[in-house]
Amino acid sequence: MSELEHALTVLQNQGIKKTTQRLNILDYLIHHRIHPSADIIAKSLKMNLTTVYNTLEILISSKLVYVLDNNQDGRKHYDYFGHPHYHVLCRNCGKIVDGSNIDLHSFPNLAHEASNFLIEQTSLEFIGLCEDCQKLLGLTENN
Ligand SMILES: [Zn+2]
Ligand SMILES: [Zn+2]
């Protein structure tokens, strides 16, 4: 099953119709793991910005798309989230890197045990300085 097929099954299971716009944005995000802002998505897909925002809202509610909104540039960045992963953000240049070497599947249970909340979503972010910015700021240990 392709990633897009997986995503469409998730939509279908939630009773969300697969429109051309939803399909196109999902396909774009699956193949561009660059955490784009809405206007980059609109430009790349030659879609109206309002349509992009409206479509993203639905995809976010389906949990297939994740919003990063604490980035340095003050803009919202969107990410395909069909498989949970965490993010590492550079506080200097705003670079965002995906991390998959932490198994997030046990986190909702742990959070439920700690709070008795019904957990609906997991997000984990680390904030620091990327390699380039460490060099720029003279923070590298070896050189
Ligand atoms: Zn940086
Ligand atoms: Zn990501």
- Domain assignments of the chain as residue spans, ordered by start: 1-83, 84-143
Instruction: Calculate how far, in angstroms, residue 132's C-alpha sits from the geometric centre of ligand 1.
Output: 6
* 3 state SS of 6: helix
Ligand nearest to the CA of 92: 1
Q: What is the pLDDT of residue 1?
A: 85
Question: Which residues, including other chains, have CB under 8 Å from residue 56's CB and lie 6 or more apart?
Answer: 25, 38, 41, 65, 67, 78
Phi-psi region of 116 (alpha: psi -120 to 50; beta: other; left: phi over 0): left
Proximal ligand: closest to the CA of 99? 2
Fold annotation for 84-143: Dna Ligase; domain 1 (3.30.1490)
How far is the C-alpha of 35 from the C-alpha of 27, rounded, in Å?
A: 13
Residue 141 main-chain phi, psi, to 5 deg: -75, -35
pLDDT on residue 69: 82
In this prediction, residue 74 carries a pLDDT of 82
The residue count of the chain comes to 143
Which residues on adjacent β-strands are paired with residue 15?
none
Tokens of 91: 């506080």
pLDDT per residue, tens digit, the chain (143 aa), is 899 999 999 999 999 999 999 999 999 999 999 999 999 999 999 999 999 999 999 999 999 999 998 677 788 999 999 988 999 999 999 899 999 999 998 999 999 999 999 998 888 999 999 999 999 999 876 65
Whole-number Å distance, alpha carbon 46 to ligand 1 midpoint, is 30
Going from the Cα of 103 to the center of ligand 2, the distance in angstroms, rounded, reads 14
CATH code for the domain defined by 1-83: 1.10.10.10
pLDDT for res 72: 73
Closest ligand by atom to 124 CA: 2
Fold: same for 1-83 and 84-143? no
- Nearest-angstrom CA–CA distance, 29 and 93: 22
